[in-house]
Structure 1
């Protein structure tokens, strides 16, 4: 188990070349590792110990355990509201034949580890898609200028290569930027989609799960019940039927303990808060991107904030005379190039771009 989890640390290695933003990495890297970790813990807990233990008379214990794990267990929802002295456990009360429609069945516990792993794949998908589209462009054009300790001749040569690339490929990076911003949108859509998937998975109990848990302490002691126990009951019932000696059907009510739900309830209360926070962060990024796209006057401020060493007039000139895709590439270069080298690149590129516009007024 330790060896499996320790292998996930490779996902947190520092990126030599940055091609995204921190929120994107939190969604695609941290959340992916988080979900895989939860899936491994639950899988390990599920198969190391017994995930279910049932008590019933007249039937071998291992048979009932297997049957109830496969065929699901249930509680009586109205029994959660009853005083504890009138029920065996929260949600566990006597049920009759006409009460079968009132039972709350639990089927999720067989699938939690698989669903968490599937969610991890969904979180990783935008990163995989962006890396496929990006095709190491940023790493290629940086040319090793992220390391400032180089000889002057080497720096001059690499700066010249980078600036020549930017001049030759002027106005050709819009698709590069739009694809990345699409992946950011995909992150937000993915978070919202997964919240609805989890709500469906838990039969409508996930969306309000965290709020109900938070309000638990504010309710009067005699009237409250733990919502985590309602969604993830520790004790449930199971009905086992078999033929008796005279070929009549015998009905056996079993009480089942689900120790795995102690892990599940903590996992999903954390995920509820985490996905709410992640949705808010992704939404803020999208609003910021929208403002950045429709407000050209904001771009030079952002570029200058990236590197205060770059003269204001240079970033103004560059931001005014390049397409938004070219601006985005230059902005991302500021994250990957040594600050002094980046200043020289922007100043020289600004001069050459001014000259190109002067020689050809049709360039936009």
Structure 2
């Protein structure tokens, strides 16, 4: 039973199609690298001999084992060979190196921290979004290898799901204060949540660099470059003091009521691995932090800039030569799709390809035109969807509405004298002014 739950947990952490490559670089590839390093260090520590000490000749094998265990647990301190051993024990303690015992646990914690934004994203997306981004994108990916008829049916199914989800999202948010606060009322819950997760990824990776420096006891922001420069200049550990192989250890033993002080010299073979591992991790974190920061800036621009959303949708509409005027595309993007609809299309485009994205945009465009032509007319005032009185919309009025050329709103209102009083009632599944 326990193995079953563990398998389910690891299966849930597999990469999915509701995020981009930079997210996978953080929570999947980086975590896998860190876990691999943690296993290597753990094997050396708990299977091999991480420390060996040079003890006096009178020490028995049991005393030698006790000395090595004590020095491993209670820390050692680095002292260059040509320096005299300080007489002050306080100075010796100030030189102690206390990180090497905790390396596997720190690496495991770092890997977990890279997974936390991913867990939050999937949990909040499933719990409160109302849009199954993973399911819709996976359907689009599966439809790529289908024949034309089956792919067309899948595209219309996806378009219908998106339309229903976005409409329900707007209706539910009118009665849900939490949904309104977090963007569902404005069709932006998923987009805002994704940008927030991007911020968490960025904060996490920069925090990892800071944690790495703190763990190693250095305040040097460019620690990795400093270590690399030492290696390129031929400055080994015995000069720099970084990841020393040979250290000193002080311990006391009580023999016949008398306390005896001993100072021994020990070899930390594990530091040979730690030096290379932490150097690689530091540069990996530095690279991931730059990539993640660029990705955050990219998603902030394409998600929050209205022109970028219009340009994205217009690209696919122009590919099929369906529309040329800018006003109709703006209404389609801002009032019908919203931020979350465009976000879903971006995910589908990134994972299923431009062909599937083009077919889906065309299907949504036709659904949008059909809905506007029908009675009642769907109008969007600001962020709230308002349904006008049921009338038949002429072809001229339809084109004028798409182009934004409707200075006289009465031609849409059907002579409703109560328009503007703010009173609404439900009628045939729509909100209607009475």
TM-score (norm 1): 0.81
Distance 1:154 1:55, change over 3 A: same
**SS of structure 2 residue aligned to 1:257:** strand
Deviation at 1:100, TM superposition (A): 2.5
SS of 1:19 mapped into structure 2? coil
Output aligned runs, 1:1-364, within 5 Å: 18-57=17-56, 58-59=58-59, 60-76=63-79, 79=80, 86-87=82-83, 93-97=84-88, 100=91, 103-135=94-126, 137-142=132-137, 144-146=139-141, 147-170=143-166, 172=169, 173-204=187-218, 207-216=221-230, 226=237, 230-244=241-255, 247-303=257-313, 309=319, 311=321, 313=323, 317=329, 318-321=332-335, 322-337=337-352, 339-357=354-372, 359-362=377-380
Structure (1 or 2) with the larger CA radius of gyration:
2
Cα separation, 1, equivalents of 2:220 and 2:230: 15
Change (3 A) 1:27 1:303: farther
Q: Does the aligned pair in 1 maintain the 2:246–2:267 contact within 8 Å?
A: yes
- 2:411 paired residue number: none
Q: Residues 110 and 103 of structure 1: is their aligned pair in 2 closer, same or farther, counting only changes over 3 Å?
A: same
Post-superposition CA distance 1:47-87 (Å, at most 9, x none): 222111011214421111011111111124xx4xxxx6x35
1:315 and 1:251 map into 2 onto residues whose CA distance is 88
Q: Is the 8 A contact 1:32 1:120 kept in 2?
A: yes
Q: Are the aligned partners of 1:334 and 1:342 in contact in 2 as well (CA < 8 Å)? A: yes
2:238·2:244 contact (CA, 8 Å) conserved in 1? no
**C-alpha distance 187-309 of structure 1, shift in aligned 2 (>3 A):** same
- 1:189 Cα deviation from its structure 2 partner: 1.1
SS of equivalent to 1:211: helix
Partners of 1:334 and 1:307 in 2: CA distance: 14
Residue equivalent to 1:3: none
Q: Distance in 2 between matches of 1:312 and 1:277?
A: 42
Q: Do the aligned residues in 1 keep the contact of 2:159 with 2:360 (CA within 8 Å)?
A: yes
- Structure 1 residues 101 and 48: CA distance shift in structure 2, 3 A: closer
- For structure 2, list consecutive stretches of 5 or more residues without a partner in the other structure: 1-6, 170-186, 383-434
CA distance in 2, matches of 1:41, 1:264: 10
Q: Cα distance, 1:170 vs. partner?
A: 3.2
Q: Give how far 1:250 is off.
A: 2.0
Counterpart-to-counterpart distance in 2, 1:22 and 1:281: 10
Aligned length: 338
**Counterpart Cα distance in 2 of 1:250 and 1:104:** 22
Q: CA contact under 8 A between 1:303 and 1:331: conserved in structure 2?
A: no
